[in-house]
Chain A
Amino acid sequence: MELHDVWFVVIAVLWTGYFFLEGFDFGVGVLTKLLARNRVEKRVLINTIGPVWDGNEVWLLTAAGATFAAFPDWYATLFSGFYLPLLVILVCLIVRGVAFEYRAKRPEEKWQRNWEQAIFWTSLIPAFLWGVAFGNIVRGVQIDATKEYVGTLFDLFNPYALLGGLVTLTLFTFHGTVFTALKTVGDIRVRARKLALVLGLVTAVVVTGFLSWTQVSRGDGTSLVAVAVAVAALVGAVGAIKTGREGWSFALSGVTIAAAIAMLFLTLFPNVMPSSLNPDWSLTVTNASSSPYTLKIMTWCAAIATPVVLLYQGWTYWVFRKRIGTQHIADAH
């Protein structure tokens, strides 16, 4: 295994980390309309992710930075090619961050309601668009001989990619619902469990459909294993929430996310962005990667820093391990 293969795996791991973590906080954002019955419940939801959403989002910045450093051509083609969808995602992430921080900083109801609207939409839209982006990466897009994307915006919204968008949207919402059941107490927890059952079934149908489509069109033996793991874990997550094992359910929905990402990256390899125009023009781990020297430095950095990051981020979740309910929301603000 050469270093650029290692970095292919590292990028997959970073996206897995991002989707696992920001996945549930996008989901919680969607639940502010889907689950919360009143504004206090909305606040309970927002506060389950309050201390952690910012740290979760850094997984995205790290995935982007690592792609830039390890696969400059991948970074360049992807971000210039998916220009407008990425713009929408960036706008959402900007508004979303400000919404969390500023919502409670004024007492006026209108002010707070506007930011609550913002939190819902800016969680829902990126949750959908990330799936569209990954669907297109896996499916292959029009990349020419100079590694430039030459398709149009509308080419990106094909049925396969749209189904990919539904996968991330439903999966993240389910993941967020299970997280809510795990992190709250009282009535909202009970309803989260019930909602998770329904969402789990919908998600299972969508995920199975998308992964089967991928498997049939470009899968092999190993990717089939990943599909099986993803689907089995999802079914397990639904079963666990039904029997009240919230921790298990959350872990299993996380496994589904990891296995689905693994499946997509397995079907990609050794490409990083296949060209639908000519297979020779595809970006691969070799023709898109950085020099061995850069990869070596990056490997050392990642090997030392990642365990430390996991350690202190994990510790944060332990510090804020207490469940929250409506009684924990102070009246002020």
Chain B
Amino acid sequence: MDLALAPETLARWQFGITTVYHFLFVPLTISLAALTAGLQTAWVRTGKEKYLRATKFWGKLFLINIAMGVVTGIVQEFQFGMNWSDYSRFVGDVFGAPLAFEALIAFFFESTFIGLWIFGWDKLPKRIHLACIWMVSIGTILSAYFILAANSWMQHPVGYKINEKTGRAELTDFWAVLSQNTTLTQVFHTMSAAFLTGGAFMVGIAAFHLARKKHIPVMKTSLRVGLVTVVIGGMLTAISGDFLGKVMYQQQPMKMAAAEALWDGESPAPFSVFAYGDVDKGHNKVAVEIPGLLSFLAHSDFESHVPGINDTNKALQEKYGPGDYRPNIPVAYWGFRWMIGFGMASFSLGLLGLWLTRKRFLLPARLRVGADEIPHLVLFRTALSPKFTRLYWLVALWTLAFPLIANSWGWIFTEMGRQPWVVYGVLRTRDAVSPGVSQAEVLISMIIFTALYAILAVVEVKLLVKYVKAGPPELTEADLNPPTRIGGHDRGTDRDADRPMAFSY
């Protein structure tokens, strides 16, 4: 079967679908692992039951989520070889190493310690059990680091040479791959966005319960943890995004020109608020702009020249030969805006929430509440009316997925903005596909993965909703009396030998 499509089109769609889907679970996994670990640390240190209940509640949601992250991650490890065999042959010497490191160092860590944490409540002493969730958290962060180092090499290849004899890229400096500024800024940006995502998730769910006046102590704590995470995560996402933008202006000027739909270079260059362009003619029909701001984003001053799409295309043609070096401009332009828009909307709501729910700072004494009461939402001197209070909780709930949308568009933007390259300046996407795999095979696998992922999405979301609604569990005697020795309780007593497991599948 041969469809009237470029050979790489279906393979790209498949990679896009499986990877964007996988990345819905990744940032939540990274942040919820750390946040759950933080809550459990609070339980171990203070002995306050609300922290243990919060740990169990968020831990459950974390597990539902990480299960999907793990299984969809398996596909990632294999699909380079399946659909992109020429890519794999060409870059394996460089790109394979961080992937192998990721498996050997990060995946083993995550997967082994998650098993210990899930089943270890009645098998491990308190502190060792706590250490397990921290290990999981470290594993998720290491995993992100290695895979982002690999991706950064595709964005900006360093530490390699082309071997004429073997006709492939070969590693010459692994440290350069691990430590180049593209890697470091991408890690910074992705990690902070992950925490923004987890924070917003926590805030939304805590707001849901607080609006119903349920589980107040646990949810009040969760709300606060979530809001602080959103604000810090959001701030760092903006700062790291600015760093990453500047790096990209140096390394991939075309991507950033496309992100701004800046057709011709300008000095000073304006930031585009809204544009509607004509790709064929190479200009915008409608453009609303803020003068000078783009120069600032690219070079930290309001004067500098920023090259446009048309001039960059010409420069690339001189460097790499004839061809069209423009990515899909509307996708880059709108992807960039939706990334920033959804991410910063979430950050702003978090900032507002943190101010509204402040405990003492500039808060009239009469509006302060006790530990087990729902906080008043106070804008200035008086509490918001019940109607507006409810509105804030609802907005927090319904925007909990905003960072997920922002993350997805961020990846779509950065990956599609790099086109027509798969490894920038080195290997074109059309030369990367598997020559021996038919379009029918790619289509079959794409349909199967898409259908399977769609079904699993429904299953997962329903399960999350069920456990969100159920709220934090009541604690049992076993929860409050963790074992003091590894492997379980005191040796030898019959009662203990037949005690049901604290957790079982």
Contacts and interface: CB of A to CB of B under 8 A. Distances in A.
A binds B: yes
Interface of A: 43, 46-47, 50-55, 57-58, 60-62, 64-66, 68-73, 75-81, 83-84, 86-87, 90-91, 93-95, 97-98, 100-106, 146-150, 290-291, 293-294, 297-298, 301-302, 305-306, 309, 312-313, 316, 318-322, 324, 327-330, 333
Given A65-B100, A84-B444, A75 B77 contact: no
B487 interface: yes
B71 A301 contact: no
A302 B97 CA distance: 11
Interface in B97-129: 97, 99-105, 107-108, 111-116, 118-120, 123-124
A330 B100 CA distance: 40
B89 A147 contact: yes
Contacts of B170: 290-291, 293-294
Contact of A77 (B85, B171, B172): B85
B104 A65 contact: yes
Nearest to B501: A328
Contact of A290 (B77, B93, B99, B105): B93
A54 B466 CA distance: 25
Given A68-B100, A94-B452, A328-B501, 19 more contacts: A51-B116, A54-B111, A65-B99, A72-B88, A72-B92, A72-B96, A75-B96, A80-B81, A83-B437, A90-B78, A91-B449, A101-B63, A101-B67, A297-B97, A298-B97, A301-B104, A312-B108, A316-B112, A319-B123
A100 B118 CA distance: 12
Nearest to B67: A101
Interface in B111-167: 111-116, 118-120, 123-124, 163
15 contacts: A51-B116, A51-B119, A54-B115, A64-B78, A68-B81, A68-B88, A71-B92, A73-B89, A76-B89, A91-B448, A101-B63, A148-B435, A293-B170, A301-B100, A312-B113
A40 B170 CA distance: 54
B446 to A, nearest CB: 10
Contacts of A149: 436
B441 interface: yes
Nearest to A309: B108
Nearest to A293: B171
Contacts, number: 249
A106 B444 CA distance: 32
A104 B487 contact: no
Given A66-B100, A72-B96, A94-B75, A86 B80 contact: no
Contact of B171 (A297, A318, A321, A330): A297
B93 A86 contact: no
A68 B80 CA distance: 9
Interface of B is mostly: helix
Contacts of B72: 94
B96 A50 contact: no
B434 A80 contact: yes
A254 B120 CA distance: 26
B82 A104 contact: no
B362 interface: no
B493 interface: no
Contact of A70 (B64, B95, B96, B118): B96
B48 interface: no
A308 to B, nearest CB: 9
Given A47-B501, A329-B504, A306 B74 contact: no
B100 A90 contact: no
Given A51-B116, A293-B172, A313 B505 contact: no
Given A72-B88, A97-B71, A91 B452 contact: yes
A102 to B, nearest CB: 6
A101 B64 contact: yes
Contacts of A309: 104, 108, 112
Contacts of B113: 312
Given A78-B81, A309-B108, A320-B119, A72 B101 contact: no
Given A62-B104, A98-B68, A290-B93, A79 B78 contact: yes
Which of A72, A94, A106, A306 gathers most chain B CB within 10 Å?
A: A72
Contacts of A47: 501, 504-505
B2 interface: no
B500 interface: yes
A153 B480 CA distance: 57
Contacts of B174: 293-294, 297
Contact of B505 (A94, A104, A305): A104
Nearest to B173: A293
